[in-house]
Amino acid sequence: IEPIELSQDLPLPLYLQLAKHLRNQITSGKLAEYDALPGERELADRFGVSRVTVRKALSSLTAEGLLNKRQGSGWFINSSTHVEQRLSALTSFSEDMASRGLQSGTVWLDRSISRATPEEALLLNLRPGDQVARLNRLRLADKTPLAIELSVVPTKYLPDPFGFEGSLYQHLRNLGHPPHRALQRLSAVRLIPDLARQLELPEGAPALYIERRTFLEDGAPLEFVASHYRGDAYDFVVELNLT
Ligand code: 16G
């Protein structure tokens, strides 16, 4: 395992820094399948952190399916190393966090109803003047800000933006409008000051800008989302098959 400097001064908690480092080592093949990891105490010494931090990092990698713990003999690298957010599965933020064993949280930055802009009307297949609900949310994992998402949903599917607190997708399912398919575009950006502050990062820090259009089963557009994901805390993974 390569050494790395972990720092208390970063906004990302130590255990997530360590988990990210180990994840890179595993997914880049520096640690081989079925290998045993050094013991918790040795890892703690090596990275200058407490055993609690080591254990939290290892547990979160276990939740991702990268490691498994064998009673009495320590931590092992799993044979199937698929992790992080799969780009090919339509999942919600809440589900993504739950599957990693992290507690998802939301800080509401704004929610309101207004007319769709001409661009939104085009993207959401609306007539000029149709109303949309706007949800601007800071999304957290175990209290660490991971992303800012601005979702725009026609009011015919989401009449009351104050009608839920946690998962938008769960709420839409409850209302009888389950998200069925999505198209997503990712690009690399630098955070403008406002977004950087909300994500607790320095101005200009790298982020992934993601636009998503989600559709109902009948093909009608349900949601348009513009989001910024922290570049230092999120990896998107895609499986490629020979066609
Ligand atoms: C994901 C989606 C976002 C969706 C949200 C719903 C990406 C890039 N975005 O974050 O479009 O609105 O999930 O999450 O994956 P929720 O059900 O937890 O509110």
User: What letter does residue 184 receive in the DSSP assignment?
Assistant: E
Cα of 2 vs centre of ligand 1, distance in Å, is 34
Cα of 93 vs centre of ligand 1, distance in Å, is 5
**Partners of 138 in the beta sheet?**
107, 148
* Tokens 């820090």 belong to residue: 205
pLDDT at 236 over 80: no
Cα of 70 vs centre of ligand 1, distance in Å, is 34
Neighbouring C-alpha atoms within 13 Å toward the C-beta of 217: 5
Cα of 243 vs centre of ligand 1, distance in Å, is 29
By CB neighbour count within 10 A (0-12 exposed, 13-18 middle, 19+ buried), where does 216 fall?
middle
Cα–Cα distance for residue pair 47/5, rounded to 1 Å: 7
Predicted confidence at residue 86, as pLDDT, reads: 61
Whether the Cβ atoms of residue 157 and residue 130 lie closer than 8 Å to each other = no
pLDDT at 232 over 80: no
By CB neighbour count within 10 A (0-12 exposed, 13-18 middle, 19+ buried), where does 11 fall?
middle
For 40-95, write each residue's pLDDT tens digit.
999 999 999 999 999 999 988 887 778 888 777 788 887 643 335 566 778 899 98
Cα of 45 vs centre of ligand 1, distance in Å, is 38
Whether the Cβ atoms of residue 31 and residue 77 lie closer than 8 Å to each other = yes
Cα–Cα distance for residue pair 69/64, rounded to 1 Å: 13
Closest residue by CA, ligand 1 atom 8? 210
Q: Which atom of ligand 1 is nearest to the CA of 227?
A: 8
Higher pLDDT, 88 or 166: 166
Which one, of 183, 178, 138, lies nearest residue 157 by Cα? Answer: 178
What pLDDT band is residue 150 in, cutting at 50, 70 and 90? very high
> What DSSP string describes 19-68?
HHHHHHHHHTTSS-TTPBPPPHHHHHHHHT--HHHHHHHHHHHHHTTSEE
Higher pLDDT, 7 or 153: 153
Cα–Cα distance for residue pair 188/47, rounded to 1 Å: 30
Predicted confidence at residue 231, as pLDDT, reads: 83
Mean pLDDT of the chain: 88
* Tokens 């998107």 belong to residue: 236
Q: Which atom of ligand 1 is nearest to the CA of 94?
A: 18
Pocket of ligand 1 (CB under 6 A): 92-94, 149, 151, 167-170, 210, 212, 225, 227
Neighbouring C-alpha atoms within 13 Å toward the C-beta of 126: 26
